[in-house]
Amino acid sequence: MQQTSALISVLKRSLKEHGVTYADLAKPLDLSEASIKRLFADESFSLKRLDMICAHIGMNMSELFTKLEQLQDYISELTEEQERTIVTDERLIVVMQLVFSDWKFDDILKKFTLSKPELINALVKLDKIGLIELLPNNRIKLLTAHNFKWRKDGPLQAFFRENVQNEFFQSDFKEHNSSLIYMNGMLSADAYKEFQKKLNEFSKDFDLLCKSDSKTPLEQRLGYGVVLAIRPWAVTFSKRYVRNTLKN
C-alpha cells in the first residue's frame, strides 16, 4: 500500500509538471472528473488506466517507475552518528553540500581550493558513513535524498542554529531570485496535520526538481536555500495583552 501511495504521488507531480488537470483526463479515460478524483483519492488504478494517463502526458510506465525509484531508494533521515561525523569537519560539510547539489568531482576541483587528496579524503569519509558511494573514476552516487530530514535537536540542527540561521535571515530578500513569505493563522489539529503533509510533499517536489535538473550544465544552475517551518507562535510583545486566564 505504501508503494502504491508513493507511485500515485509521483503521478500527481507528473500531471502538475505537464499542466494536466483531472478534468483534462476525463475524455481519454471516458470517466467523469468526479470519478477521476475518486480514483486518485482511493488510489485504485488498474495498470491499463495508469498506462493511459502516462500516455496522455507523453510518458511511458517505465519512466513513471524510474521517477518512483529516484525518490524511494534514498535514506530520508541520517543517524545521529552520521550527523555528528559531518558537523565535526567543516571541509566535509562543504563537500557534502556540493555533491548533494550534483557537482561533479572535476567541477569541485576547478571552483574550490580543495586539493585532489583533500577532496578524495572527504568523499571517502562520506562513503564510509553511508551517504554516498564513491565509484571508479571518482564518480559519485548519492545514497540519501538530496534534502534529507534533520534529526530533531540533532547535531545538524544545532549546527544550523549556531552557524547558518542568523546569516540566512540577514538578507532583505529583495533580490529578483529571492522570496520571503510569512503567513499567520489558526489551525485545528487535523488542519495542522494536513498542512504538515503538504510541507512534506513540497520538500519532495523540491528534491525531485533538483534531481531532474542535475543534467543541466553547472553554469546554468544557482544554489538555493529553502526554509520551511511551522510552529505555535505569537509575537513576544503580544503576550503582554493576553488575559491572565488565557496565558496558561
Q: Are 186 and 96 within one domain?
A: yes
Answer yes or no: is pLDDT of 145 > 50: yes
Q: Are 165 and 54 within one domain?
A: no
Question: Which contiguous run of DSSP H or E holds residue 135?
Answer: strand 132-135
- Cite the DSSP H helix spans in the chain: 2-17, 22-29, 33-42, 47-56, 61-72, 80-87, 90-99, 105-111, 116-128, 155-163, 165-168, 189-212, 244-247
The mean pLDDT of 172-191, rounded to a whole number, is 87
* Highest-scoring range by mean pLDDT, 108-112, 140-144, 210-214: 108-112
Q: Are 23 and 135 within one domain?
A: no
Answer yes or no: is pLDDT of 106 > 90: yes
Q: Are 172 and 139 within one domain?
A: yes
Q: What is the pLDDT of residues 212-232, one digit of tens each?
A: 777 788 888 888 888 877 778
Q: Are 86 and 190 within one domain?
A: yes
Q: Are 82 and 177 within one domain?
A: yes
With beta carbons less than 8 A apart as the criterion, state whether 22 and 40 touch: yes
- State the Cα–Cα distance between residues 195 and 76, nearest whole angstrom: 20
Answer yes or no: is pLDDT of 75 > 60: no
- pLDDT score recorded for residue 9: 78
- State the Cα–Cα distance between residues 243 and 110, nearest whole angstrom: 61
More confident residue, 236 or 34: 34
- pLDDT score recorded for residue 35: 92
- pLDDT score recorded for residue 107: 92
| Count of domains forming the chain | 2
Range of the domain at 127: 75-220
Position 60 in a domain: yes
Position 186 in a domain: yes
Position 241 in a domain: no
Task: Give the HSE-up count for residue 135: Cα atoms under 13 Å, Cβ half-sphere.
Answer: 7
- pLDDT score recorded for residue 196: 87
- pLDDT score recorded for residue 1: 43
- pLDDT score recorded for residue 186: 87
Position 169 in a domain: yes
Q: Are 108 and 181 within one domain?
A: yes
- pLDDT score recorded for residue 245: 53
Q: Are 15 and 117 within one domain?
A: no
More confident residue, 91 or 8: 91
Q: Are 147 and 179 within one domain?
A: yes
With beta carbons less than 8 A apart as the criterion, state whether 215 and 223 touch: no
Q: What is the pLDDT of residues 54-65, one digit of tens each?
A: 999 998 888 888
Position 236 in a domain: no
User: Which of 72, 94, 128 is the last residue before a domain boundary?
Assistant: 72
Cell of 123: 568523499
- pLDDT score recorded for residue 241: 59
Q: pLDDT class for 244, splitting at 50, 70, 90?
A: low
The mean pLDDT of 167-171, rounded to a whole number, is 83
Q: Whole-structure pTM over 0.75, yes or no? A: no
Q: Are 205 and 85 within one domain?
A: yes
More confident residue, 26 or 142: 26
Question: What is the residue-averaged pLDDT of the chain?
Answer: 84
